[in-house]
Amino acid sequence: MPSRSRVLRRPHRAWAVAAVTFVALVGAAGFRATPGVLILPLQDEFGWSRATVSLAVSVNLLLYGLTAPFAAALMERFGIRRIVAGALGLVAAGSALTTLMTQSWQLVACWGVLVGLGTGSMALVFAATIANRWFVHRRGLVVGILTAGGAAGQLVFLPLLSVLVERHGWRSAALVVAAAALAVIPLVLIMMRERPSDIGLLPYGATGPVPTPPAAGAPARAAIGALRFAVRRPAFWLLAGGFAICGATTNGLVGTHFIPAAHDHGMPMTTAASLLALVGVFDIVGTIASGWLTDRADSRTLLGWYYALRGVSLFALPALFTAAPHAQMLIFVLFYGLDWVATVPPTVALCRELFGERGTLVFGWVFASHQIGAAIAATVAGVVRTSLGSYTLAWVGAGFLCLVAAALSWSVRPVARTAEPALATVD
């Protein structure tokens, strides 16, 4: 009969590392939520147009994405703890400095550049790195949970930030973000570990030793090498194209412009922020479910249906805006929330399947395309609203783009991989 100590086995350390990662991602996402509630206050105080403020948001989104593949290589070279702690410091500095700005270029420099670089270093590549290093079984589920934490954190913080802006001014929200970023740093430094082998463990679900990949060498060289390796394969362009549309239709459009669009129809900013927060709540369910499905179903099929259904919901959105929430809008919130970033677990799985040990770095570039799409959409939607006085064209155009993304996803096919050159080689 097994002893009591063997029966009451402690949970694998991988789950503790995943929990710390979850907290860091939720925090990083909350930091990135602030621009959505800043557009109207900055417009009122400085007279900046929505197109002008959207430019800073676009720079933030663009750097958030372009930093990701290099952050993945930096994590390989210098360690996760150092990179994440440094990233949180950048976020704190950028957010705090916005309280001193007087011109729009300073918003671009602080929120666009500093916060963009900081949050980009804690992007979804961070989640993929943890899942690939610490888990053999339940990888899809773990990516789903971590992704849900990131996306939901961005949206769930919106009501708190909007109340701070409404009662104490937008500077109070910026200072709270800076303080929260600093508060997460000790947790990362104390609790985070690089690999299971550092503490004498195997990854969760592993039945034998898992070889450690060779050192990445110069981070920039490793990141560029992964890109050059990936662009030779059509599957990369299909995944990157679909994920660019994913970013355009989530962070770039809905995440940035939903609150001001609702305000255009008479809805109070705090109410609109609460609706967007509900999207985040349902996103937790949808993304975790997507991770569970990714472990069991064809990722290409899942991606195609996610994009197609998102497109249908965006076609309906322009007719749903009113001064007060109603049943149809709540249905949209439920449906869209379930689909918000459900695309991430199957995309990570496909990168791992198609690109082998370079999968995490390649996903960094696929994620960069996500943020390029988001940056373009944030600016274009702001210009559309400034020029036409309405967001309708932006919503409908995004719906059509989602149908294109569905077609791209269904077109992805497995590729036969030959022996891959070492990660440090620019081939």
User: What are 87-139's pLDDT values in tens digits?
Assistant: 888 888 988 898 888 888 888 888 888 888 888 887 667 777 888 788 877 77
More confident call, 423 vs 75: 75
Q: Report pLDDT for 419.
A: 42
Residue 417 pLDDT greater than 50, yes or no: no
Residue 153 pLDDT greater than 80, yes or no: no
Q: Taking residues 182-194, report their average pLDDT.
A: 82
Q: Report pLDDT for 393.
A: 95
215 SS3 class: coil
Distance CA 235, CA 412 (A): 6
Q: Report pLDDT for 223.
A: 76
Q: Report pLDDT for 423.
A: 39
The number of folded domains in the chain is 1
If pLDDT is split at 50, 70 and 90, which confidence band does 303 have? very high
Residue 212 pLDDT greater than 80, yes or no: no
Q: Taking residues 395-414, report their average pLDDT.
A: 93
Q: Report pLDDT for 391.
A: 93
| Residue 202 domain-assigned (yes or no) | no
| Residue 6 domain-assigned (yes or no) | no
Cα-based distances in Å from 289 to 15, 18, 23, 294, 371: 18, 17, 20, 9, 24
| Residue 20 domain-assigned (yes or no) | yes
Token reading at 36? 């959505």
Q: Are 307 and 290 in contact (CB under 8 A)?
A: no
Residue 255 pLDDT greater than 60, yes or no: yes
Distance CA 384, CA 406 (A): 25
Q: Taking residues 337-360, report their average pLDDT.
A: 85
Q: Report pLDDT for 276.
A: 82
Residue 415 pLDDT greater than 70, yes or no: no
Residue 261 C-alpha from the chain's centroid = 22
Query: Which CATH number covers residue 321?
Result: 1.20.1250.20
Distance CA 321, CA 266 (A): 9
Q: Are 256 and 54 in contact (CB under 8 A)?
A: yes
Max Cα-Cα span within the chain:
76
| Residue 201 domain-assigned (yes or no) | no
| Contacts of residue 175, Cβ cutoff 8 Å, sequence gap at least 6 | 95, 96, 99
Cα-based distances in Å from 206 to 12, 133, 190, 209: 12, 11, 25, 7
Q: Comparing C-alpha atoms, which of 65, 62, 59, 396 is closest to residue 249?
A: 396
Cα-based distances in Å from 418 to 130, 356, 421: 26, 10, 9
| Residue 80 domain-assigned (yes or no) | yes
Residue 254 pLDDT greater than 60, yes or no: yes
Distance CA 354, CA 186 (A): 37
Q: Taking residues 238-243, report their average pLDDT.
A: 95
The domain in which residue 58 lies consists of 11-195+212-410
Q: Report pLDDT for 8.
A: 47
Residue 262 pLDDT greater than 60, yes or no: yes
pLDDT tens for residues 32-79? 667 667 777 888 888 888 778 878 888 887 887 788 777 777 787 788
Least confident of 153-157, 305-309, 396-400: 153-157
Rounding to the nearest 10 degrees, give the CA dihedral for residues 82, 157, 66, 124: 70
Q: Report pLDDT for 315.
A: 95
Q: Report pLDDT for 154.
A: 63
| Residue 124 domain-assigned (yes or no) | yes
Q: Report pLDDT for 33.
A: 66
Q: Report pLDDT for 421.
A: 42
Q: Report pLDDT for 209.
A: 66
| Residue 5 domain-assigned (yes or no) | no
| Residue 415 domain-assigned (yes or no) | no
Q: What is the DSSP letter of 208?
A: S
Q: Taking residues 343-363, report their average pLDDT.
A: 86
Q: How many CB atoms lie within 10 A of CB 99?
A: 15
Distance CA 377, CA 371 (A): 10
Distance CA 227, CA 423 (A): 11
Residue % of the chain over a pLDDT of 90: 20
Q: Report pLDDT for 73.
A: 73
**DSSP-H helix ranges across 231-320:** 234-247, 256-264, 269-294, 299-316
